[in-house]
Each structure stands twice: as structure tokens, then as C-alpha cells.
């Protein structure tokens, strides 16, 4: 996630880690997918709590 957090280019991250750019792209995409899934679950939890409170 250095690409997103530190603003590094994927090519630079790939070079630093000894990976191909495509591998970095895949890992970033998977990580973002995981973040989205967790955010959706957290959002649903908040909505459930709010609706159950009333």
C-alpha cells in the first residue's frame, strides 16, 4: 500500500521489492478490495446498530 499511502509509483515499489509491476498492481487491487469489503461490513454494522436503537 506504499503506492497509496506514500504516493509512490507502482514501478518504484516493484523495483524496491524485486517484483514485477504487474505483481504490485495485483497486490494493490486485492488490498483495496479487502478494504472495501471491510468498510461495507463496518457500514452495515453501524446501520444495524442505529436501526436497532430506535
The DSSP code sequence of 4-47 is: HHS---HHHHHHHHT--HHHHHHHHHHHHHHHHHHHHHHHHHHH
Cell numbers representing residue 34 in the block = 479487502
13-47 tens-digit pLDDT:
999 999 999 999 999 999 888 888 888 877 777 76
Q: How far is CA 53 from CA 41, 42, 48, in A?
A: 18, 17, 8
pLDDT of residue 1 exceeding 70, the answer is no
Please report the pLDDT score of residue 24 as a whole number.
95
Amino acid at each position: 500500500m506504499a503506492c497509496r499511502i506514500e504516493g509512490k509509483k507502482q514501478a518504484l515499489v516493484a523495483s524496491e521489492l524485486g517484483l514485477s509491476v504487474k505483481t504490485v498492481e495485483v497486490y494493490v487491487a486485492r488490498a483495496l478490495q479487502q478494504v472495501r469489503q471491510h468498510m461495507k461490513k463496518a457500514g452495515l454494522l453501524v446501520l444495524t446498530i442505529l436501526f436497532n436503537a430506535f
